[in-house]
Amino acid sequence: MSERKFKRIVLKLSGEALAGDQGFGINPQVVEPLAQEIAQLSKESGIEIAIVVGGGNTAMDVARAAKRVPGVKNVYLAYRRNARYMPADEEELNEAIEDGVEFVTLVSPKSFKGGKLVCAKNVLGEPDASGRRGVKETDELVELPCDTLIASIGESVRGDFYTSNGIEIDKKNLPVLDPVTLETNVKGVYAAGDGAKGASVIVKAIADSKKVCEAIVNHAIGELKISDTTDEKVYSYRGILEEVEEKKADNRCLACDYICENCTEVCPNRANVYVNVKGSHQIVHVDYMCNECGNCETFCPYASAPYKDKLTLFASEEDMLDSENDGFVIVKGSKDVKVRIDGQNLVYRIGESNDKLNYRYAELIDTIYNEYEYLLL
């Protein structure tokens, strides 16, 4: 056997691949043979190989950290879909690429023998209810070297934990809750955060905890006081954006997930507009309404320059060529959209899937075309 050129390898796999027939979490019947073979390889070869399982933000962090370990030359992340459908934030994905993490997409692990992880190559299937495309395995196999398994996947709630304690659950194995108090059918028992509604972010878990605390206090004092803080009330305090009659030349704008939306309020020309995309507010920068005054950059709490950094809606192809912003222009009289992302140009058609365009951008463009016609010249 020729001398190996590596001592450590990090291989990242999709967590879905370890779910097996159960469709969620980690299936011990799938993991055990893999773990045994990995342990045997490590013992026989002495090579340190890390397998990072998962495609979310945590998996990206693990892979990037592994890349910084002394002696590690190559870090591979293998995922059953393509990069477009990874659940990780685009920022996390880009930072992993910048750190030198190499991606092997459209593969699913099948076996682990002789220091090689054998994976089946996949092809994308039809979109599911969430819009993510499924995968279909092919007969073609690829081999990847690996040694240590790191599970970095989203965990699922165990429904039997609830049912064994008399708590009713729904089809997703989540507890049936009072929508106001988050109390289960068992009096005095509440659920919050991921255990109540499935995997989400910490701020939503905190919000749930606040509801539960209020419910417990209300029960203790013998009266029901419901919090009057709602999304509608919060947004009622914000400035009202109106379409201006005078149109400024040379305008730019962006899209983001931050709820501050300062850039929409401080812009004197209202060139930064929030767009409701499936319940999530994003910001689009409207090129023809911006005079580059810089207000949005001054007041941005995230050290960003929205008029430069956010996705921009252009009025014409000429305006798009005259700008360096990432953005798009809808070809007049058609559903064709010319898009520029990270310097790469592509053509997208409204309502149709495009493997080269991140689905978040596609959803934003579709929403503007269908629901925000007043922004289109």
* Mean pLDDT, residues 205-218 taken together: 88
Over range 161-189, report the average pLDDT: 92
**Mean pLDDT value of segment 323-348:** 93
In this structure, is residue 2 part of a structural domain? no
Looking at the fold, whether 248 and 139 belong to one and the same domain comes out as no
- 268 lies in some domain: yes
**What is the 8-class DSSP label of residue 159?**
H
SS3 sequence of 235-249: HHCCCCCCCCCCCCC
Residue 23 region, left (φ>0) first, then alpha (ψ -120 to 50), else beta? left
Shared-domain flag, residues 29 and 145: yes
Indicate if 322 and 365 belong to the same structural domain: yes
| Averaged pLDDT score across all residues of the chain | 79
Domain carrying residue 164? 159-221
Confidence (pLDDT) at 330: 95
Position 3 in a domain: no
Q: Are residues 25 and 128 in the same domain?
A: yes
Q: Where does the chain have alpha helices with state H?
A: 28-45, 57-67, 90-98, 159-163, 194-197, 202-221, 231-236, 262-266, 295-299, 306-309, 317-321, 359-371
Residue 51 pLDDT greater than 70, yes or no: no
CATH number at residue 27: 3.50.50.60
Range name among 41-45, 174-178, 185-189 with the lowest pLDDT average? 41-45
What is the average per-residue pLDDT within 48-54? 59
Same domain, 250 and 214: no
At 319 the pLDDT is 94
From 98, 127, 151, the end of a domain falls on: 151
Q: Do both 169 and 119 map to the same domain?
A: no
Compute the Cα dihedral for 102, 107, 111, 114 and give only its sign: negative
Q: What is the pLDDT of residue 176?
A: 95
For 11, 180, 342, the CA distances from 150, given in Å and listed in that order, are 9, 39, 31
Residue 232 falls within a domain, yes or no?
Answer: no
pLDDT tens for each residue of 106-142: 988 787 777 777 889 999 988 877 677 888 999 999 8
Does the structure show a pLDDT above 80 at 101?
yes
**One domain, residues 45 and 80:** yes
* Beta-bridge partners for 329: 338
Residues 146 and 20 in one domain: yes
Residue 333 falls inside a structural domain: yes
> Domain for residue 65, yes or no?
yes
Structural Rg of the chain based on CA atoms = 25
Whether residue 260 sits in one domain with residue 146:
no
What pLDDT score does 235 carry?
66
Among 187, 180, 186, which residue's Cα sits nearest to residue 224?
A: 180
Task: Give the residue from 151, 177, 211 where a domain finishes.
Answer: 151
Residue 13 and residue 108 in one domain: yes
Number of structural domains in the chain: 3
Residue 183 lies in a domain: yes
Are 256 and 367 in a shared domain? yes
In this predicted model, what pLDDT tens digit does every residue of 253-307 receive, in sequence order? Answer: 334 445 578 888 899 999 999 898 887 778 899 999 999 999 998 888 877 888 9
**Token pair in block for residue 202:** 């910490």
Q: Which of 151, 186, 201 is the last residue of a domain?
A: 151
Q: Give the whole-angstrom CA distance, residue 52 versus residue 88.
A: 14
Q: In the prediction, which pLDDT does 259 show?
A: 58
What gap in Å lies between CA 196 and CA 170, rounded to an integer? 11
Nearest to 189 by CA among 159, 221, 219, 227: 219
* Residue 226 included in any domain: no
pLDDT at 314: 96
User: Both 147 and 163 in a single domain?
Assistant: no
Instruction: Specify the pLDDT at position 246.
Output: 43
Q: What's the whole-number mean pLDDT along residues 337-354? A: 91
Lowest mean pLDDT across 37-51, 95-109, 111-125, 226-240: 37-51
Is 51 or 278 the better-scoring residue by pLDDT? 278
